[in-house]
Amino acid sequence: MASNPAFAAWVKRCVQPHRVPGYRAVTLSLKPHGKAPGDITSEQMHVVADLADAYSFGELRSSHEQNLILADVQLSDLFAVWEKARAAGLATPNIGLLTDIICCPGGDFCSLANAKSIPIAEAIQMQFDNLDYLYEIGDLELNISGCMNACGHHHVGHIGILGVDKDGSEWYQVTIGGKQGNDASIGTVIGPSFSAEEMPGVVKRLIEVYVRERHDEERFIDTVRRLGVAPFKAHVYAEKETA
């Protein structure tokens, strides 16, 4: 893999351990930058079906994070799976990173939504379109919901974004510190909501605080839990006031 950095990056982010020796689970990323998170075309689904038949005993799983998983892939088949997945646009090596966004359909498709979600996700993806920087940031869960029904699970995102309605306009409330899993927590609102145009910059400033304040190997959620909301809030709204 050392001779093929692209394949190595994919294995690191998209290939998970398996309880059976000689096998791995493979996540097919539905989070290419600039497209709706979790979206997939009919042509891509045909490719996925062929991959499942050829390399995973015909089994395919859908993940909570809106990606697809080939559950039982032999180690010897990983390179072939990567080549075919990459050709179909299904091998973005960003699983678990900031652009692996959980996003509800929002106002584009859902009649219950207060605000659009997909354009916010796409704008954030494009703000962080450098994979090297994403790897430097490390594991981070960003979830977006278009209303309080919380289909995007924003409450438990390390960074959560909730679309709200203000006198007929779309605004976005931001929380940090949420987490799913055994040590689950609900995120804390950092302050007044933001316009859609501000959201990529808000996320950028949250990341700036994390990169500045983190300890070695400390994840975003751990830094937030150690420092609390205050330093993140101060940086975000200081920038907002001077804008």
Q: What is the pTM of this model?
A: 0.94
Taking 70 as the pLDDT cut, the residues of the chain under it are: 1-2, 239-243
**Long-range CB pairs of 226-235, under 8 A, 24+ apart, other chains included:** 229/176, 229/177, 229/188, 229/190, 232/176, 232/190, 232/206, 233/190, 233/191, 235/205, 235/206, 235/208, 235/209
Strands 188-189 and 169-176, sheet pairing? antiparallel
Provide the pLDDT for residue 33.
87
The answer to whether residues 131 and 93 touch, using CB atoms and an 8 Å cutoff, is: yes
The CATH class that applies to domain 102-242 reads: alpha beta
Provide the pLDDT for residue 148.
94
Strands 61-62 and 23-28, sheet pairing? unpaired
Provide the pLDDT for residue 171.
97
In the chain, where the domains are located: 5-87, 102-242
Quote the CA–CA distance of 196 and 120 in Å, as a whole number.
7
> Using CB atoms within 10 A of its CB, is residue 130 exposed (0-12), middle (13-18) or buried (19+)?
exposed
Give 5-87's CATH code, choosing from 3.40.190.10, 3.40.50.620, 1.10.3720.10, 3.30.70.3340.
3.30.70.3340
Provide the pLDDT for residue 167.
86
Per-residue tokens: 180: 């799913």
